[in-house]
Amino acid sequence: MKITVFAAVVATVSIAGAVWAHSGATGVVKQRMDAMMAMGKGVKGITPMMRGKTAYDPERVRAFAEMVRQHSGEAMTKLFPEGTDGAPSVAKPNIWTDRDEFNALAAQLESLSEGLAIAAENGLKQGGGGQGATMMGTQPAMGGGSMMGGGSMMGGSAMSGSATPAPEAFSEMPADVAFMMVSQTCSACHTKFRVEAK
């Protein structure tokens, strides 16, 4: 059991390290970190609701979606001017060599956030049965249970490279499915364009 405790301490220290690195940022690097942090907080904040652990509130989903929308697309890409990698930033230099792909992921996040706002009124899959288990259920179509692995932001990138559904598709889509697509777009970009947090 001592090993478990030790591992937990190490994990805590590395999170603290990331926060410290953030506090050293200035200018456009600080601006994009602040925007990313706001989205990260947003994801954490509504994840329990998306898993059916707290009461579903479409208004909160729409507020989250709108916040993400404001930080995505061009609002995001303009905060990554050339030559702004290097400490304290953990942005990878391939942002500027694979710029089209980076921009496409930022644009995809924007469309998905708009889709999530539409999907908000649909509630959770299977009527929000209240158990996280509902999401593990019988529909592997959206990439299976990757989101349930904890830390959806750090997870795999099952959706990487996939196309964004048309706006009409979201009017039929459960909100948690749309939310999962949003968070997997975060992961897809981080996997490719952000130095792995150790």
**Which parts of this chain interact with ligand HEC (CB under 6 A)?**
22, 29, 32-33, 36-37, 39-40, 43, 68, 89-91, 102, 105-106, 109, 153, 182, 185-186, 189-190, 193-194
Peptide bond into 93 cis (omega under 30): no
Q: Which stretch binds Cu ion (CB under 5 A): 16-24, 68-76, 142-150, 155-163?
A: 16-24
By CB neighbour count within 10 A (0-12 exposed, 13-18 middle, 19+ buried), where does 34 fall? middle
Q: Does residue 90 contact residue 195 with C-beta atoms inside 8 Å?
A: yes
Residue 135 touches which of Cu ion, ligand HEC, none (Cβ within 5-8 Å per kind): none
141-171 residues labelled b (16+ CB within 10 A) or e (exposed): ebbeebbeeeebeebbbbbeeeebbeeeebe
Closest distance to ligand HEC from the beta carbon of 144 (Å):
20
Closest distance to ligand HEC from the beta carbon of 194 (Å):
4
Pick one of 3, 8, 11, 22: the residue that binds Cu ion (CB under 5 A).
22
Pick one of 3, 10, 11, 33: the residue that binds Cu ion (CB under 5 A).
33
Residue 182 touches which of Cu ion, ligand HEC, none (Cβ within 5-8 Å per kind): ligand HEC
Rounded Cα distance, 142 and 151, in Å: 17
Cα dihedral 195, 85, 40, 159 sign: negative
Residue 137 touches which of ligand HEC, Cu ion, none (Cβ within 5-8 Å per kind): none
Nearest-CB residue to Cu ion? 22
Q: Which residue's CB is nearer to Cu ion, number 9 or number 15?
A: 15
Rounded Cα distance, 152 and 77, in Å: 22
The site for Cu ion (CB under 5 A) is made up of 22, 33
